[in-house]
């Protein structure tokens, strides 16, 4: 048979279905041009063995198996027989360069093993590959799934790995290593994506950067326990893969029952990380969002102080600065005067709010702003009416509760009564206050989860998804933010159901520059919550100028988390200027292609967002420059054939020494801007200069 070819946006995936067993991925990488399927056969034959869609020892693969499991009773190693292979949009024997993506669905079975498999592959118009498997038990005895992952091969020239680690308030710290023999595995058992969750695992040619090198990236779209891994065997084959990480006995399939993996996403690039990132951004942008309102969150402004007069004054200041949404954070519900009580009691506290939240919500809307509210639905404080009335709703064994974290336990959402309670409370409050927005928090790792006597993360994650889906079905206009003590739940599983993520609990703009830079590989700017914090950061204690804090927040879904009632008139005027600039640039920032320069000076960053007719860049001086002379600003992503008018955008940083071009708009060819660049300004540490371009 002819190979099956999926191709889009200069990327291609070639499946060899000549058998025996499951199709083998012979190529995932650069588009192959106008070659037909039969013309690929000699080349495929010369490539030697390649792992099939679900690698196993019976296929000659002695690395990590794609499927692991055990049957209660007689055990048979699985050898698949393909029953059908359906394509849509892709080509069977067609050209390798002319199809705007497509789908492949492979159905296979092993009657001796009592299993059936359906594998799905989708290449979208941007060249991103999505993959998942569904396993069905066709025998009478139970089958215990140990693991089921999605993996694709990478070539031998992929000699370096990039992944990410982190902690609370400092997420997405990059780390690199050689891609040698064996397995490099990033396993997460926190019950949520995790502050140290890699998000992306990247294999690439040595020294790959944002704008150079060939690379292959993988992301597991799952909010529970998960694994990303890269493996190279001595026989020469290598692959990257990801999937859900299951505890023993967590998924047991009775006869006729099925388990479906999360979607796993694979992105290839021949020109560095930016191109792989753009393919991932395109997937999220396929679900359009409304205009992203500039948001004020009151948490770092007032914490648990919910005095109405203070909040009304804060709302007045926010509206005057141009803010478009007001979010009331933790502390509005019963018994919640501190973080040790009240979680789960989702009723407005009558003692603090005798008239309910209506006086605040009405003022906020009268000022022209939307109104939002904070929840942490999956959690409960032991000191709460809910926990006292329903201790059996806690996720764990009744005889021995899991260790508490942050004075809280986890509600078992897979328990129908707990799920129904939360849905009723959320639905009622969203309806009563006509909420525009929910900040949905998740502030602890899940330890020792037990549901109905079995490991509980899988069921808990699916129940959370169902709750989000149902709430959105009942309130189609409701926007939801995924917060998890900052960036501990950022993945495509949660982002399929929410509209933005809280990138980090740190509003320190210096740390945020790197956190947003690396989180932004996976998530586009309009979904990255980025707030202007107080002059002295509440977490690091660092003092930073408003111009730098605002320039950092401007390149995301901009917001404010600062007690504006304590700000002076000059500060409020400056903040209003930055908010107005963000609104003017918002159509560009939230639709354009994100670009990042491989700037040679480690003390500085250069990044931007580009549309065909417009672009904006930030040159960021993080720390003191060692060299006396600055590297030119080579602006990536521009059309070399175009001419651009270049000018400074926004306020100029204090005591900046600007080059001549910054004094008035100049016209420069895109080729010059990309190759020779602009003379760099001299900036103090913790400063940023914005440069705006328009095509002429």
Residues 531-546 have pLDDT tens digits of 999 999 999 999 999 9
Q: What is the pLDDT of residue 3?
A: 86
Residue that finishes a domain, picked among 285, 310, 325? 285
From 111, 27, 87, 25, select the one nearest 61 (Cα to Cα): 25
Q: Does residue 453 sit within a domain?
A: no
DSSP letter at 547 equals: H
Phi, psi at 367, each rounded to 5°: -80, 0
Place of tokens 């190693």: 77
Beta strand 129-137 pairing with 115-123? antiparallel
Q: What is the CATH number of the domain that holds 624?
A: 2.60.40.1180
Domain span holding position 619: 597-695
Q: Note the pLDDT tens digit of each residue in 380-431.
A: 999 999 999 999 999 999 899 999 899 999 999 999 999 999 999 999 999 9
Q: What is the pLDDT of residue 338?
A: 96
Q: How far apart are CA 467 and CA 425, in angstroms?
A: 12
Q: What is the pLDDT of residue 96?
A: 38
Average pLDDT over every residue of 674-689: 97
Q: Which of 441, 445, 499, 537 is catalytic?
A: 441
Evaluate if residue 47 carries a pLDDT over 90: no
Average pLDDT over every residue of 26-42: 80
With a pLDDT cut of 70, the percent of the chain lying above it is 97
pLDDT band at 1 (very low <50, low <70, confident <90, very high): low
Evaluate if residue 5 carries a pLDDT over 80: yes
Residue pair 43/30 in contact (Cβ under 8 Å)? The answer is: no
Q: How far apart are CA 413 and CA 460, in angstroms?
A: 6
DSSP string, 444-482: S---S-EETTEE-HHHHHHHHHHHHHHHHHH-TT-EEEE
Evaluate if residue 98 carries a pLDDT over 50: no
Evaluate if residue 626 carries a pLDDT over 90: no
Phi, psi at 364, each rounded to 5°: -55, -45
Average pLDDT over every residue of 672-680: 97
With a pLDDT cut of 90, the percent of the chain lying above it is 92
Q: Which residues contact residue 93 at a Cβ distance below 8 angstroms, ignoring those fewer than 6 apart?
A: 2, 3, 5, 36, 37, 38
Kindly tell me the sign of the dihedral angle through the C-alpha atoms of 168, 174, 176, 179. Answer: positive
* Least confident interval from 33-42, 214-223, 483-492: 33-42
Evaluate if residue 356 carries a pLDDT over 90: yes
pTM over 0.85? The answer is yes
Q: Does residue 608 sit within a domain?
A: yes
Q: Which residues of 150-186 are buried (b: 16+ CB within 10 A; e: fewer)?
A: bbbbbbeebbbbbbbbbebbbbbebeeeebeeeebeb
Which residues are annotated binding-site positions for substrate? 168, 329-330, 406, 439-443, 483, 505
Evaluate if residue 48 carries a pLDDT over 80: no
Average pLDDT over every residue of 564-589: 98
Residue that finishes a domain, picked among 285, 314, 336? 285
Q: How far apart are CA 262 and CA 244, in angstroms?
A: 7
pLDDT band at 628 (very low <50, low <70, confident <90, very high): confident
- CB-facing half-sphere around the CA of 445: CA atoms within 13 A: 14
538-to-169, 211, 505, 541, 544 alpha-carbon distances in Å: 11, 35, 10, 6, 12
From 679, 670, 651, 684, select the one nearest 610 (Cα to Cα): 670
Phi, psi at 84, each rounded to 5°: -160, 160
Q: Which of 345, 436, 505, 508 is catalytic?
A: 505
Q: Does residue 261 sit within a domain?
A: yes
Q: Does residue 555 sit within a domain?
A: no
* Least confident interval from 36-50, 174-188, 476-490, 570-584: 36-50
Hey, which bits of 206-285 come out as E strands? 215-220, 226-232, 238-244, 251-253, 258-260, 264-269
Mean pLDDT of the chain: 95
Q: Note the pLDDT tens digit of each residue in 134-190.
A: 999 999 999 999 999 999 999 999 999 999 999 999 999 999 999 999 999 999 999
Q: Does residue 269 sit within a domain?
A: yes
DSSP letter at 593 equals: E
Residue pair 126/278 in contact (Cβ under 8 Å)? The answer is: yes
Neighbours of 299 (CB within 10 A): 19
Residues forming beta bridges with residue 120, ordered by sequence position:
105, 132
- Which of helix, strand or coil describes residue 583? helix
Phi, psi at 353, each rounded to 5°: -125, 75
Give the helix/strand (H/E) hosting 558.
Answer: strand 557-560
Q: Does residue 19 sit within a domain?
A: yes
Q: Does residue 306 sit within a domain?
A: no
Q: Does residue 458 sit within a domain?
A: no
Residue pair 484/192 in contact (Cβ under 8 Å)? The answer is: yes
Chain centroid offset of residue 297 CA: 21
pLDDT band at 45 (very low <50, low <70, confident <90, very high): low
Q: What is the CATH number of the domain that holds 195?
A: 2.70.98.60
Active site residue 441: yes
Q: Please, is 74 exposed, middle or buried when counting C-beta atoms within 10 Å of its C-beta (0-12, 13-18, 19+)?
A: exposed
Which residues are annotated binding-site positions? 168, 329-330, 406, 439-443, 483, 505
Q: What is the pLDDT of residue 667?
A: 97
Average pLDDT over every residue of 293-317: 98
* Total tally of structural domains belonging to the chain: 2
CA angle 75/81/82 to nearest 5° reads 140
Evaluate if residue 93 carries a pLDDT over 70: no
Active site residue 505: yes
Q: Note the pLDDT tens digit of each residue in 504-514.
A: 999 999 999 99
pLDDT band at 95 (very low <50, low <70, confident <90, very high): very low
3-state helix/strand/coil string of 661-690: HHHCCEEEEHHHHHHCCECCCECCCCEEEE
DSSP string, 34-64: S--HHHHHHHHHHT----BSS--GGGT--SS
Q: Note the pLDDT tens digit of each residue in 684-695.
A: 999 999 999 999
Q: Please, is 302 exposed, middle or buried when counting C-beta atoms within 10 Å of its C-beta (0-12, 13-18, 19+)?
A: middle
Q: Please, is 440 exposed, middle or buried when counting C-beta atoms within 10 Å of its C-beta (0-12, 13-18, 19+)?
A: buried
Q: What is the pLDDT of residue 2?
A: 76
Q: Note the pLDDT tens digit of each residue in 208-256.
A: 999 999 999 999 999 999 999 999 999 889 999 999 999 999 999 999 9
The total number of residues written for the chain in this structure: 696
Residue that finishes a domain, picked among 285, 315, 332? 285
């Amino acid at each position: 048979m002819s190979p099956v070819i999926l191709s889009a946006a200069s990327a291609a995936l070639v499946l060899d279905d000549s058998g025996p067993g499951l199709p083998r991925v012979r190529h995932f990488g650069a588009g192959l041009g106008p070659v037909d399927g039969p013309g690929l056969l000699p080349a495929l034959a010369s490539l030697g063995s390649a792992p099939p869609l679900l690698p196993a020892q019976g296929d000659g693969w002695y690395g990590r198996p794609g499927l692991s499991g055990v049957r209660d009773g007689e055990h048979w190693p699985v050898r698949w027989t393909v029953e059908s292979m359906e394509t849509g949009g892709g080509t069977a024997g067609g050209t390798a360069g002319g199809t705007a993506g497509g789908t492949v669905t492979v159905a296979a079975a092993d009657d001796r093993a009592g299993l059936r498999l359906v594998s799905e592959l989708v290449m979208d118009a941007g060249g991103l590959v999505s993959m998942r498997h569904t396993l069905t038990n066709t025998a009478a005895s139970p089958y215990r799934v140990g693991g089921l992952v999605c993996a694709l091969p990478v070539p031998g020239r992929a000699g370096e790995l990039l992944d990410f680690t982190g902690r609370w308030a400092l997420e997405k710290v990059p780390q690199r290593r050689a891609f040698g023999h064996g397995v490099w595995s990033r396993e997460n058992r926190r019950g949520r994506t995790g502050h140290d969750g890699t998000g992306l695992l990247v294999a690439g040619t040595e020294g790959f950067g944002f704008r150079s090198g060939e690379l292959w990236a993988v992301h597991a779209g799952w909010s529970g326990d998960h694994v990303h891994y890269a493996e190279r065997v001595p026989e020469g084959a290598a692959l990257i893969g990801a999937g859900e990480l299951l505890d023993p006995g967590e998924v047991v399939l009775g006869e006729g029952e099925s388990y479906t993996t999360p979607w796993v996403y694979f992105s290839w690039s021949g020109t560095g990380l930016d191109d792989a990132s753009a393919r991932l951004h395109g997937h999220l942008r396929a679900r359009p969002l409304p205009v992203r309102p500039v948001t004020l969150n009151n948490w770092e402004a007032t914490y648990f102080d919910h005095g109405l007069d203070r909040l009304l004054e804060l709302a007045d200041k926010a509206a005057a600065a141009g803010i478009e949404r007001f979010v009331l954070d933790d502390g509005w519900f019963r018994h919640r005067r501190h973080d040790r009580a009240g979680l789960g009691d989702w009723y407005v506290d009558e003692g603090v709010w005798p008239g309910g939240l209506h006086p605040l919500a009405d003022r906020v809307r009268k000022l022209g702003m939307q109104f939002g509210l904070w929840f942490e639905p999956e959690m409960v404080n032991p000191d709460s009416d809910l926990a006292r009335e329903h201790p059996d709703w806690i996720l764990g064994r009744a005889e021995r509760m899991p260790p508490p974290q942050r004075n809280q336990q986890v509600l078992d959402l897979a328990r129908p009564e707990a799920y129904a309670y939360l849905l009723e409370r959320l639905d009622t409050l969203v309806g009563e206050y006509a909420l525009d927005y929910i900040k949905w928090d998740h502030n602890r790792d899940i330890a020792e989860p037990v549901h109905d006597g079995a490991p509980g993360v899988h069921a808990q994650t699916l129940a959370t998804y169902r709750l989000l889906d149902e709430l959105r079905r009942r309130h189609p206009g409701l926007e939801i933010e995924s917060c998890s003590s900052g960036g501990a739940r950022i993945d495509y599983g949660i982002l399929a159901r929410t509209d933005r993520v809280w990138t980090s609990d740190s509003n320190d703009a210096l740390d945020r520059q790197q956190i947003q830079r690396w989180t932004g590989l996976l998530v586009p700017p309009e979904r990255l919550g980025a707030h202007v914090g107080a002059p002295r950061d509440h977490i690091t204690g660092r003092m930073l100028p408003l111009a730098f804090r605002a320039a950092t927040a401007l390149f995301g879904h901009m917001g404010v988390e600062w007690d504006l009632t304590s700000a002076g008139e000059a500060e409020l005027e400056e903040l209003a200027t930055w908010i107005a600039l963000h609104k003017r640039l918002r159509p560009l920032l939230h639709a354009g292609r994100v670009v990042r320069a491989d700037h040679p000076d480690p003390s500085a960053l250069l990044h931007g967002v580009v549309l065909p007719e417009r672009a904006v860049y930030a040159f960021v001086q993080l720390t003191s420059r060692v060299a006396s002379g600055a590297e030119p600003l080579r602006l990536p992503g521009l059309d070399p054939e175009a001419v651009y008018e270049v000018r400074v955008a926004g306020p100029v940083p204090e005591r900046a020494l600007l080059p001549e071009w910054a004094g008035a708009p100049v016209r420069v060819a895109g080729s010059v801007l990309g190759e020779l660049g602009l003379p760099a300004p001299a900036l103090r540490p913790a400063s940023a200069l914005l440069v705006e371009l328009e095509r002429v």
